[in-house]
Amino acid sequence: MSRWFISLQVRYLLFFMLPLFLINCSGGSDSSIPQPGPTNNGGGGSSGIPSFTLEPMVAASATQMAFAPGDQLFYTDGKGGNVWVIDTAGGAWQRRPQPFYHTEVGQLGEQGISGVAIDPDYAANKFVYIYFTTPQYSRLVRVTDTNGRSSNEQILIDGILAANVHNGGVLLFGADGKLYVTTGDATQQHVAQDPVSLNGKILRINADGSVPSDNPFPGSRTWLYGVRNSFGLTVHPATNDLWFTDNGPTVDDEVNLAVKGSNYGWPETTGKGDTRFIDPAFVLAQPVGITNIVAVQATPVYPSQYHNNLFFTDFVEGKIRRLVLDASLKTVVSDSVALDIQHAAGALIAFKQGPDGYMYVSGSSSSGSSIYRVALNPNAPQ
Ligand SMILES: [Ca+2]
C-alpha cells in the first residue's frame, strides 16, 4: 500500500508542478537544455539496454507540436497561452522571437493552450488549428498563418466543459482529411456517457467545423465516447487506423484502437474485461500519465523492427515505451521500454515523428525544457 501511495503522490505532485515548468522554460538559451544522463541502465530490450537516447535540439517548453511545410515546427506552451514556430531547416533549430498566436488561458492544473494541428492543405490555405482551456471553457479555433503571425481567428467548437484537469485537447488530422479532437471529462465523469455532451469523447469534424455526413451519430461531432482524459492520438501510417490513449484514475492507463461509434467504458470501467465496452489494446497497471503516442512510419533512420510500432511517452516516469503489433497491425503482441534515461529529461510531453523520419519529444524538468530528437542508443544492440 505504501508504495502505491507514494506513486500517486509523485504523480499529483508532478501534475501540479507542470505549470511552473511551462512558465519558466519557454525562452532561454542552449545552456538551459538539460543533458540526458547515462543510458545504460533500466530498459526492456532483450539486452536490457534501452534502444534509444535523446539529443537536444532547442530549448522550448512544448505541450503539443505539429510539423508544417517549409521546415516549420509549431508548438504550444501550456500556461503561456502561446503558439510558437521553430524553423528547422538544416537541422539548426531556431525559435522565432515572437509567438505565432497568443490567447488568455487558465493557470490551474492542466489548463492552458494544448492542441495544435496543421491543415493537410496548409501550403495552399495556411490554416492552423488550436485548442485551449480557460477557467470557464475549452475552445477549438482556426487561424490563418499570415507571414508567420495568426490572423482571422474563427471558433470551430465552443462550450466544451473545462476544469482544473481532464480537458483533453489533442488535435490530429486523420488520413480521411477530418480533424479529430480529444475532450476530457472535465472531472464530471457522467458526461463521457452523455451523447449530448462534447466532453469525454473523441470528436470528428470537417476542417470548417461542420459535422461530417458519415459520422456515427447523425448531426453529432462524436466519433467515439467513454473517454476520461486522453492526451494521445496517432494515425497508423500502414493501415490509416486511428489510435488513442486514455489515462485511468489510479490504475489502467490505456492504449486503444479507435473504432467508429464505440464506447470505451469510462466511467463504468477502465482496463480490460468488461464485455459491454471495447477493450484497450494495451493497459499499464501503474499510472504513468500517458502524454502522447506515435505510430512510426517506415524510415531509413530507424531499423526495420521499429517500423509500424507504436511508441508512447509518459509524464511520471519520463520513459518511452514500445508496443509491437501483429501482422494485422491491430493487436499488441509485446511491450518494452525503449527509452529510460532515469528522468533526466523530466516529464515527456509533446511527441511526433518528423518529416525526416525521426521521433521528436519535449521534456520538462526543473532544470529546463527542451525538444529532443529520439536517436538510436549507440550503446545498445539494435
Ligand atoms: Ca477504457
CA 362 – CA 367 distance, rounded (Å): 14
Q: What are the helix (H) ranges across the chain? A: 2-24, 122-125
Distance 125 CA to ligand 1 centre (A): 37
Residue 82 is part of a domain; what is its CATH number?
A: 2.120.10.30
Low-confidence residues of the chain, pLDDT below 50? 1-44
Q: Is the dihedral of CA 50, 51, 55, 60 positive or negative?
A: negative
192 CA to middle of ligand 1, Å?
A: 11
Q: CA 31 → CA 55, 108, 333, 348, 379, distances in Å?
A: 14, 29, 41, 19, 26
Provide the residue range defining the domain that includes 334.
2-376
Please give the tally of structural domains in the chain.
Answer: 1
Ligand 1 center–CA 8 separation, angstroms: 20
The answer as to whether 125 is a domain residue is yes
CA-nearest of 264, 224, 260 to 248 is 264
What does the alpha-carbon distance between residue 128 and residue 147 come to, in Å, rounded to a whole number? 13
Q: 110-121 burial, b for 16+ CB within 10 Å, e for fewer? A: bbbbbbbbbbbe
Whether 149 is in a domain gets the answer: yes
HSE-up (13 A, CA, CB side) for residue 343: 10
| 73 within domain boundaries | yes
Cα-to-centroid distance, 6 and ligand 1 (Å): 24
Cα 170 to Cα 172: distance, rounded to the nearest angstrom: 7
Give tens-digit pLDDT for 313-347: 999 999 999 999 999 999 999 999 999 998 899 99
Asked whether residue 361 is domain-assigned, the answer is yes
Instruction: Give the C-alpha separation, 359 to 292, whole Å.
Output: 12
Q: What is the DSSP letter of 212?
A: P
| H/E segment holding residue 74 | strand 72-76
Compute the distance from residue 91 Cα to the ligand 1 centre, in Å: 39
Looking at residue 50, its pLDDT comes to: 80
State in Å: Cα 46 to ligand 1 middle: 30
Whole-number pLDDT of residue 279: 97
Secondary structure (3-state) at 14:
helix
Distance 278 CA to ligand 1 centre (A): 7
Q: Write down the pLDDT at residue 305.
A: 95
Bond into 267 cis (ω within 30) = yes
Asked whether residue 90 is domain-assigned, the answer is yes
Report the largest interatomic distance among the alpha carbons of the chain, rounded to a whole angstrom. Answer: 57
Is 382 a member of any domain?
no
Q: How far is ligand 1, taken at its centre, from the CA of residue 277, in Å?
A: 8
User: Mind listing the pLDDT tens digit for each residue in 126-147?
Assistant: 999 999 999 999 999 999 999 9
Cell of 205: 469534424
The pLDDT, as a whole number, for residue 46 is 56
- The owner of cell 507514494 is 6
Q: Is residue 381 part of a domain?
A: no
Task: Provide the 3-class DSSP secondary structure of residue 122.
Answer: helix
Confirm whether 117 is domain-assigned.
Answer: yes
Say what the pLDDT of residue 169 is.
97
301, 52 contact by CB (below 8 A): no
C-alpha–C-alpha distance, residues 330 and 326, integer Å: 7
Q: What pLDDT was estimated at residue 26?
A: 31
136 DSSP assignment: S
∠ at Cα 295 (292, 297), nearest 5°?
140
Q: Beta strand 82-87 with 94-95: parallel, antiparallel or unpaired?
A: antiparallel
The pLDDT assigned to 281 comes to 98
What pLDDT is recorded for position 381? 84
Query: What is the whole-number distance in angstroms between the Cα of residue 279 and the centre of ligand 1?
Result: 7
Side chain identity, residue 261: G
Distance CA 246, CA 291 (A): 9
